[in-house]
Amino acid sequence: MINALKEVERKRKAILEMGGHEKIEKLRRSGKLTARERIECLLDENSFVELLPFVESRNTDFGLKSLPADGVITGYGTIDGRPVCVYAQDFTVLGGSLGEMHGMKIARLFDFALEAGIPVIGLCDSGGARIHEGVDSLKSYGEIFRRNVEASGKIPQINVIMGPCAGGAVYSPALGDFVIMTKNKGCHMFITGPKVIEAVTGEKVSPAELGGWEVHAMKSGNCHLVADNDIKALELVKKLLSYLPLNSNECPPVVNTGDDPMRKTPEIYEIVPEDQKKPYDARELVKVIVDNREFLEIQPSFAPNATVGFARIDGKTVGIVANNPWFYAGCLDVDASDKIARFIRFCDCFNIPIITFVDVPGYLPGVEQEHRGVIRHGAKVLYAYSEASVPLITIIVRKAYGGAYIAMGSKHLGADIVYAFPTAEIAVMGPEGAAEIIFKKEIESSGNPEETRLEKIEEYRRKFANPVRAAARGYVDDVIDPQYTRMRIASALRVLERKQKRRKHGNIPL
């Protein structure tokens, strides 16, 4: 028994040495942690339990030798006492490439996580498919993708891109719920690399220009959060998880934030200008309402005309959706529609109430938007709100015009509570445009067309573009003093916490 145990420990020690001292030091010189250090930094101290450490590749072609842990470390542990599953690809072992058994370990981890009902966190740092193993490595990608879809909407999936992520490797993060990228040198995501692109199209581009964090955080929308380095990225994982339940059958944890839910919010008077043409930053409005001004914004640099993210009110996690007039007047466009729709669907999957702040003049006009499919993309927002069965509370701040008014969590799509500020204007279109259409003949025949136009604009605003008219029709539950916004939302959340849930769904990438 003793000799057998010693042999097992000898093999385990070799596995813990990963790719060897030289490769580990090279990794550290680049400012990165090793795969095992990343796990230690992420999880509670001494909580990690490794699974399948002795798995080896079955392929010996092209001189392939035994690889420690087959290039990926898998297991479970706790974060702030809550259980999670985690896998970390080891770049020191054949570049973290994914082969048959490497993929099998990740797929098995997903099976385990689904049975246990706990999140999966992937720490991605891989050169892609292990070409030594041919179609076996491709098969393993498929096995992982199927698990991603099976787990979608059931357990949270968070992926951290901490190095290269190319080819088939990009699709597992894309099928998950959140992607965090680091600013590490060599950290990028793309399907086809610069050399292939140059060979096929003649375009010359660097890896960073093709798929670095700036590209995905600002242009493609594939990245949800960005961190300066490994440690900061792992801190973001912890913060994000603190807002989420372990699975779709649970509610998010309730935290004693020490912030009185009945606190007044008179700061709103200063934040939101009465002049409808003056912009303001919706994030400042959100922060004065939520607990301790803590707001974890998701995709802050992508489609900034829409603001989404997590916060707490009365200690309860809420999903925030807001038009942001600071950018493009808060209009909805193709990217903002996708951003909002997918966030709503995630919240609905995991029992997170949605608070919507509306200030939208409509959909962004233009040939480009129409040709990019704004009709199709805008419909995703309508679908997401209509399908959602979590508590829906909507605050109409200022403009709520046309189809965009309907789309942004209106009573007509199933909102439980709709409040409006006295500054709200709810109509088919803005008073200026509406008056020029309705009173066109009167304005043109007037002795002073400009004066008449202004009079008619005010007439339309008084009759149709004020919240009292919508409230009279039952489309708005009440017109409230902005300083009572927080307490109204907190009260509604308490009443709606027993709201019956309808059928559930996955979180398809939109």
Catalytically annotated residues: 167-168, 403-404
Q: Using CA atoms of 64, 191, 71, 157 in order, give the dihedral in degrees to the nearest 10.
A: -150
Gap between the terminal Cα atoms of the chain: 55
SS3 state at 122: strand
Phi then psi for 284, rounded to 5 degrees? -70, -35
Burial classification of residue 443, based on how many CB atoms lie within 10 Å of its CB (0-12 exposed, 13-18 middle, 19 or more buried): buried
> DSSP character for 484?
G
Position 262: which residue type? Answer: M
How far apart, in whole angstroms, are the C-alpha atoms of residue 77 and residue 196? 40
Q: Where are the beta strands (DSSP E) in 196-305?
A: 225-227, 295-298
Go through the chain and tell me how many residues it has: 510
Burial of 339 (0-12, 13-18, 19+ CB in 10 A): buried
For residue 152, count other CB atoms closer than 10 A to its CB.
21
Instruction: Tell me the two tokens of residue 478.
Output: 């009440």
**Which residues is 190 bridged to in the sheet?**
166
3-class DSSP state for residue 108?
Answer: helix
- Three-state SS string across 306-347, please? EEEEEEEECCEEEEEEEECCCCHHHCECHHHHHHHHHHHHHH
Matching residue, tokens 């009465």 = 274
Contact 372/334 with Cβ under 8 angstroms?
A: yes
Q: How far apart are CA 68 and CA 52, in angstroms?
A: 11
Sign, Cα dihedral of 188, 341, 308, 151: negative
**DSSP codes, 18-37:** TT-HHHHHHHHHTT---HHH
For residue 303, is it left (φ>0), alpha (ψ between -120 and 50) or beta?
Answer: left
Q: Are strands 354-360 and 295-298 parallel, antiparallel or unpaired?
A: unpaired
